[in-house]
Amino acid sequence: MTSRPMESGAPADRPITILLGPTGVGKTAVGIELARRFGAEIISADSRQIYRYMNIGTATPTSDERAAATHHLIDVVDPDVRFSAGEYGRLAREAFHEIAARDVPALVVGGAGLYIKALDGGLFDAPEIPPAVRRRLANEYRSASTAALHGRLGAIDPASAARIHVNDRQRIERALEVHDATGATLTSWFEKPDQSRSRSRGTRLIGLHRDRVALYGRIDARVEKMIESGLESEVRALLDRGYGPEAHAMSTFGYAETLRYIRGELELKDAVSVIQQRSRQYAKRQLTWFRQTRGIEWVTVDEGEEPADTCEKIIRSFPDLLF
């Protein structure tokens, strides 16, 4: 099947096809099949694969998978960089422009809701906070537990506290940072009427869905595969590069628990269990986000279904698919 010509102009003026779904659902393999079929390049919308040196624990596409389809916005920033959805949106639009300039189709693949929203034109512009202020606030937050920070957020910005999971330290700190640096809550920035933008014309959101029991089983199996593939060695290499627990990306599931195992604070089986639990919780939060997102057209992936078959199902379901 040949690709359709892309329209010229800004991303907001061109169709955008986004393949989304929770972690473990099989987006990477299906996205590569679609990209191969349409001759497209993939723009990743994964908030963890954006980081360098963290391929195993984030299930970053392998070298073979990247050879099968060109990927953008993978391995972009170092693990100690706090990377915002707004920054992602800017880089994604740049990638979209560059791909279009070569008259090549683009396919967005990922499960980070805020990243997708940023590219799709609906993300508010968060306040810019000077690096010196961010460092000072980060030092203040470091001595407090994640639960304590979430409790403090609940006192000053209940809406953000309800929206952000109690264990999501990075987003909790970001919400506190906005308030402490500007005096205004993150929710108030969300609600500014001049900040919202409409969905890009022609955007198609295609979501992959699996039975929850099957999805959780895949997640658990993937965690075990990560351990077998050398997650411990990857974390040790990060430590050797100077990225400890204070690095933003090192607090994410998989890395935090493996670090605790290396330090003797967890048995391996317990670390695996916690990673599996946090991964399932992340998938649940993603599904909650997607349920609140209008316009997603869902495709059910049956147990045992090959990525090529899912690709065919998508093409049959959406004969007007735009790339």
Q: What pLDDT is recorded for position 126?
A: 58
> How do the domains of the chain map onto residue ranges?
11-124+202-317, 131-194
Q: Is the pLDDT of residue 124 over 90?
A: no
Q: What pLDDT is recorded for position 82?
A: 85
CATH number of 131-194: 1.10.20.140
> Per this entry, what is the length of the chain?
323
pTM, full prediction = 0.77
Fold observed for domain 11-124+202-317:
Rossmann fold (3.40.50)
Q: Is the pLDDT of residue 200 over 60?
A: no
Q: Which of 33-47, 85-99, 125-139, 162-176 has the lowest mean pLDDT?
A: 125-139
pLDDT digits (tens, 9 = 90+) for 29-53: 999 999 999 999 999 999 999 999 9
Residue by residue, DSSP assigns 122-183 as ----PPP--HHHHHHHHHHHHTS-HHHHHHHHHHH-HHHHHHS-TT-HHHHHHHHHHHHHHS
CA-to-CA separations, 276 to 104, 141, 219, 221, 258, in angstroms, rounded: 38, 27, 7, 9, 12
